[in-house]
A and B are shown apart, each in its own frame.
Chain A
Amino acid sequence: MKIKNTFMNLIGNNDPASKFNRKKMLTTLSPVIGLVALFILASSLSNVFLTASNLTNVLRQVSVLGFAALGMTIVIITGNIDLSIIGNVSMSTTLVAVLLQNGWDVVPMILVVLLASSTIGLLNGLIISYFKIESFVITMGMQVVCFGLSLFIAGGRTVIVDNLAPFMLNLASNKLGMIPVMFIILLGFYTVFYIFTKKTKMGRYIYALGGNEEVSYVSGVNVTIVRTTAYILSGLMAGVAGIFTFSRSLCGDPAAGSALGMYVVAAVVIGGTKMSGGRGSVLFTIIGILIIGIINNTLNLVGFEYYAQQIIQGLIIIFAVVISSKKRR
């Protein structure tokens, strides 16, 4: 009982008297159950899966997706979507490369990249709020703009950086025990965002915006500020994802973000956050990215052809979304 209560607290409903709790807990827990099942399945399908080096590799692979999906989770909780993220990641990666190539120090480089990526979010938020247009359309347009900017920044090719600073050189490869440092940083971000969404005033406004925008407005909330904040955070996280994308490939590829594709949305939805907004938790997006990471890894280990991997991944995403929407009654 105590454990259950703690858990209910974690997901934001600690009312033991509610008869809907049992069902709700099961619903919320299903991504975790899925992850455990998948883990067992993966271990039995391949004997390489459980090796330390492979698991480290999985964590490293999911980290970039994790940063991007964190921002997406915030935006989806507000009842919107941010398709510009993958373009923004590309833009940030090329910006990292070009700035480093021009001899910038790491700290000012990071600040400029995050400022640029957040500005994309700011624009998304303001345009959607002022013109009251579907976020889907605006952010899709912004994605194209970002990919264009990436090409412009990179001069139309992949940017190779000479004389990399050791910090950037080792950012992706550093480990603490068997856990990559970048995954630890990822967990740090998730913790901060979790506290932000669950404990602060702005966090409440973000959930409330997705729950019912009209009520928020009638209650005196400036919904433009709330929505724009969510998009700025999403842009910021795209910037962080861009920096780590660079740290893994050590070059500025203007198409780097497209590898994330729809995984960003999929990770959020698989984690149980509702596309309709107002429900979900950033913590469960971690489960989402791990599920996607393990599936990809296992398909590789078992040796499926690339086309088969694509088909299976796509079907799994559809399956996860169907399951999650069915539970909404």
Chain B
Amino acid sequence: MNKPMLQVNNITKQFPGVKALDRVSIDLYEGEVLCIAGENGAGKSTLIKILSGVFMLDEGEIILNDEKVNIKNPLTAIELGFSVVYQEHRLINNLTVAENIYFGRFPMKRGFVDYRKLNDDAQQILNRLGMNIRASELVSSLGSSQSQMVEIAKALSVGAKIMILDEPSAAITDSELEKLFEIIKDLKSEGQSFIYISHRLKELFEIGDRVAVLKDGKLVGVEKVSDIDTKKIISMMVGRDLGEVYRPKDREIKEEVLRVENLTNDIVHDCSFTVRAGEIVGFSGLVGSGRSELAESVFGYRKRRAGDIFVDGRKVRIRTPKDAIANGMGFITEDRKTTGVILNKSVAVNTTFAILDKLSRAGFVNTREEKVLVDNYIKKLKIKTPSDKQEAQFLSGGNQQKVILAKWLLTESKFLICDEPTKGIDVGTKQEFYNILDDLARQGIAIMLISSELPEIVGLSNRVYVMQEGRIVKELMEDEISEETITTYSMHEME
């Protein structure tokens, strides 16, 4: 091929505590579909956001048609010809298809919108895409693949030279996907370039010309699709040093504490699993595979449509978190700030919040006893705070997380759900957390560990359940657990 139309050279993007992109270089040719693959947090979405002007890059350069460009904001990105079709729809439901396509760029006539021209122009684009949609239809009456096509029509209408498709297959059916592929191939033959992102590796082989693999913000390699297979891609996506995360797994595993049978809610379907005392059970899967939603339903935080929960072999009724706590469960949620700590309340108030019933006499809180308990946990978990009266908002993320952990240890949880327990926590505190989790398991607590960081799952778990689109697709025993097996099962490669 000749010269690339787009060159991304050594771009770096730093967020507090993490390098989301580290000297990544990618180029794109005219009429090419470049696929980007990588796990959760590999840097795919950061890359898209830089190209579409949502984030500014810290270092590196972007060269478009031999000219260095500076993508300052979403508007310049559009003017330069970058257009993103996001996985979730960004159309305005109560406007028509034509209005959405030309939103903000309506043709005008004597101060009024020229609706005839608007509809004619939009219809022309829709016809060109071979779509059976009327431009005057309301978007709310469209199906999800049709809305996706409207997004593509919109991207075409602004004269996008590079169209970025972010997980287009997530919201549409297989037959709809085929139609989308046809359109992509048509446009490709007209010289349109695409960046295509998907977790379904199969698709990459169907539609892609080349595939770039990202891992932990770094580019692992770019390969011609015809030269590789899924195995190769997966092996490029995994392979980290486990040394610091690994904990010996010779824990004494005892009787079953939790059994869930056929749990179904609005996101997950028919999930069954068990967790035993002394065991850390990992739950792995892509973002959106339903891990957190499963945990929420076990804890009574999300409505269950079907399924039974057994604690210590007895069937229990769990409809609210209160019921779950009464049955010995604790839940370290994914989002500390919205469901974990009360930011403007003290460490003490947050720590004892779930055991006030035990701590009160005649409705009055026994603050003396409370202080003893809280100080004890501040020492035990090494919570860095000037005192138990400090407001939680002034603590670091790791210490807030410890406060939440202390809360659930005080309720004497025998089953603890940890949803991304080390998210946004510094490296040193992460190590402390791994020790604590290992320790708790060894004390006989049953732990359900949800994490998007594969090394955590591999390094800590006795067993792993892999989830995919709301279903548990595989249970991996200790000797089967590896980044490779987990990735293989979570990436839609097993039929």
Contacts and interface: CB of A to CB of B under 8 A. Distances in A.
B301 A218 contact: yes
Interface stretch (B14-22, B334-342, B476-484): B334-342
A111 B458 CA distance: 66
B276 interface: no
A126 B55 CA distance: 45
A204 B349 contact: yes
**Which of the listed residues A200, A214, A215 has the most CB atoms from chain B within 10 Å of its own CB?**
A215
Given A207-B345, A208-B342, A220-B322, A201 B386 contact: no
B73 interface: no
B171 interface: no
B342 A201 contact: no
A15 B349 CA distance: 14
A14 interface: yes
A20 B322 CA distance: 35
A278 B386 contact: no
Nearest to B332: A218
Given A13-B389, A14-B389, A17-B387, A218 B342 contact: no
Closest CB pairs A-B (n = 4): A17-B386, A15-B389, A211-B342, A220-B325
A215 B339 contact: yes
A7 interface: no
Interface string A10-32: 00011101101000000000000
A201 B367 CA distance: 11
Contacts of B324: 220
A212 interface: yes
A202 B363 contact: yes
Contacts of B353: 204, 208, 215-216, 219, 221
**Which of the listed residues B354, B356, B360 has the most CB atoms from chain A within 10 Å of its own CB?**
B356
Interface of B: 299, 301, 320-322, 324-326, 331, 333, 338-346, 349, 353-354, 356-357, 359-360, 363-365, 367, 386-387, 389-391, 394, 407
A2 interface: no
B394 A219 contact: no
B473 to A, nearest CB: 28
Per DSSP, chain B at the interface is mixed
B340 A204 contact: no
A199 B342 contact: no
Interface in A238-285: 278-279
13 contacts: A13-B389, A14-B389, A18-B389, A18-B391, A201-B360, A207-B345, A215-B340, A216-B353, A219-B325, A219-B354, A219-B407, A222-B322, A278-B344
Given A14-B389, A15-B386, A17-B386, A215 B364 contact: no
A323 to B, nearest CB: 19
B365 A18 contact: no
A207 B356 CA distance: 14
A217 interface: yes
B364 A200 contact: yes
Given A201-B357, A215-B340, A220-B322, A18 B390 contact: yes
Given A15-B390, A204-B349, A208-B353, A218 B344 contact: no
Contacts of B340: 215
A54 B322 CA distance: 54
Contact of B343 (A13, A201, A212, A219): A212
Contacts of B365: 199-201, 204
B380 to A, nearest CB: 20
A199 B364 contact: yes
Contacts of B301: 217-218
A215 B342 CA distance: 7
B371 to A, nearest CB: 12
Given A204-B365, A215-B339, 14 more contacts: A13-B346, A18-B387, A20-B394, A201-B356, A201-B357, A201-B363, A201-B365, A208-B349, A211-B343, A212-B343, A215-B340, A220-B354, A221-B322, A279-B344
Given A17-B386, A218-B339, A220-B354, A200 B407 contact: no
Interface string A207-233: 110011011111111100000000000
A6 to B, nearest CB: 14
Contacts of B407: 219
A326 to B, nearest CB: 17
Contact of A200 (B325, B354, B360): B360
Contacts of A279: 344
Contacts of A215: 338-342, 353
A109 to B, nearest CB: 29
Contacts of A205: 356
Given A207-B345, A278-B345, A279-B344, A218 B387 contact: no
B389 A220 contact: no
A200 B321 contact: no
A274 to B, nearest CB: 9
A212 B364 CA distance: 22
B386 A18 contact: yes
Nearest to B407: A219
Contacts of B333: 218
Contacts of A199: 364-365, 367
B390 A220 contact: no
Contact of B321 (A17, A212, A219): A219
Contacts of B367: 199
Contacts of A278: 342, 344-345
B301 to A, nearest CB: 6
A204 to B, nearest CB: 6
B30 to A, nearest CB: 50
Contacts of A212: 338, 341-343
A199 to B, nearest CB: 5
A223 B345 CA distance: 17
A214 B322 CA distance: 13
A87 B201 CA distance: 64
A191 to B, nearest CB: 15
A221 B322 CA distance: 7
B126 to A, nearest CB: 40
A200 B343 contact: no
B321 A218 contact: yes
Contacts of A219: 321, 325, 353-354, 407
Contacts of A207: 345, 349
B339 A15 contact: no
A220 B386 contact: no
Contacts of A220: 320-322, 324-326, 354
Contact of B344 (A200, A211, A217): A211
Contacts of A222: 320, 322
A14 B371 CA distance: 13
Given A211-B342, A215-B341, A279-B344, A204 B387 contact: no
